[in-house]
Amino acid sequence: MEFGIHVPIFDIDGGTSAIAGELARVGSAAEGAGATWLSFMDHYFQIEPTGLPAEANMLEGYTTLGYLAAHTSTIDLGLLVTGVTYRHPGLLAKIVTTVDVLSGGRATLGLGAAWFEREHRGMGVDFPPISERFERLEETLQICAQMWDPENNGPFEGKHYQLAETLCSPQPIHRPKVLIGGGGEKKTLRLVAQYGDACNLSASSPEDVAHKLDVLRRHCDDVGRDVGTIRTTIMANNPRPAPDNRDEFVRAMADYAKLGIDAVLVTPTTGSPAAWIEQMAPVVPQLADLG
């Protein structure tokens, strides 16, 4: 099992002027620990699950990834996950391509249907009903696939998006993997089976994750796809890992490893995330030994 880092908090010790330097240290600490993934949220207001108010610090995600591209060399980079409502799909494909080129081929497109209504209203972004957001999500997946096909620069005609050309030059160094976030059984996991290279599930319990994987397997059967071609990741939150409960965390991950989960993502929630990551580093070889 691999180890990934997801950074949701930008209230950094030392204040706003310390954020850039700390994020550079986060990149170094994550790679030094042997983590294979580094991500941020796609939000403009802070979200309640972090325990912080909306007014807490938040950085724009893709700008942050571009910065980290220059301060890392091996780790995969992405947002967990991009809200489909925030950027036109053609522009999103170009943005992710830019991160991929500038990082030497390390970008992943994390994508989801978006959910934070207050943020949308506050920023003046349309927040259509959930059924329409999922329609837009599927069209965005189709558009990105076409943008990253160098043999197809033609138009795209969808219900919500119309592109006269899907020209994307330069092409990504490595076609970005598509990670679809969420565990919705009827729509989200169907889209994973049809379009995704990876999924991210909440580690609520091994039983719940096993059920989600069974649902994903059935969707794959429906579209004639080998479920083994989809990378499965979980966000650890039960227990929430921390340096003082590392052994408990590794024991809890053993049951997920038995399910075939490829990677577990953890979230530093302190004002000094680089030091937190360094303190968590001993779990990396232990997780690898789980399988």
Classified as helix, coil or strand, 30 is helix
**Which two tokens mark 227?**
């479920």
Q: What is the pLDDT of residue 173?
A: 98
Do the Cβ atoms of 232 and 192 come closer than 8 Å? no
pLDDT per position as a tens digit, 132-163: 999 999 999 999 999 999 999 999 999 999 99
Burial of residue 110 (number of CB atoms within 10 Å: 0-12, 13-18, 19+): buried
Helices (H) and strands (E) in the chain, counts: 10, 11
> How many domains is the chain built from?
1
Is residue 103 over pLDDT 80? yes
pLDDT tens digits, one per residue of 16-75 = 999 999 999 999 999 999 999 999 999 999 999 999 999 999 999 999 999 999 999 999
Give the up-direction half-sphere exposure of residue 130: CA atoms within 13 A in the CB hemisphere. 7
Give the rounded percent of residues in the chain with a pLDDT score beyond 70: 100
pLDDT value at position 238? 72
The CA radius of gyration of the chain, in Å to the nearest whole number, is 19
**For residue 100, what is the domain's CATH number?**
3.20.20.30
Angstrom distance (rounded) from CA 251 to CA 10: 29
Q: Which two tokens stand for residue 228?
A: 């083994």
Q: How far is CA 37 from CA 118, 126, 246, in A?
A: 29, 31, 19
Rounded to whole angstroms, the Cα distance separating 54 from 254 reads 35
Is the link from the previous residue into 170 a cis peptide, with omega within 30 of 0?
yes
Please say if the pLDDT value at position 291 is more than 90: no
pLDDT value of position 124: 98
Question: What is the tens place of the pLDDT at every residue in 204-222?
Answer: 999 999 999 999 999 999 9
Residue 107 DSSP class = B
Q: What angle do CA 80, 149, 5 make, to 5 degrees?
A: 20
Look at residue 227 in the predicted model and tell me its pLDDT. 97
Q: Enter the DSSP assignment of 241.
A: P
Residue 276 in tokens: 């937190």
Q: For 254, phi and psi rounded to 5 degrees?
A: -60, -40
pLDDT of residue 185: 96
Confidence check: pLDDT of 239 > 80: no
Segment 119-132, tens digit of pLDDT: 999 999 999 999 99
Domain limits for position 157: 2-289
Q: Which residues partner with 112 through β-bridges?
A: 83
Evaluate if residue 287 carries a pLDDT over 80.
Answer: yes
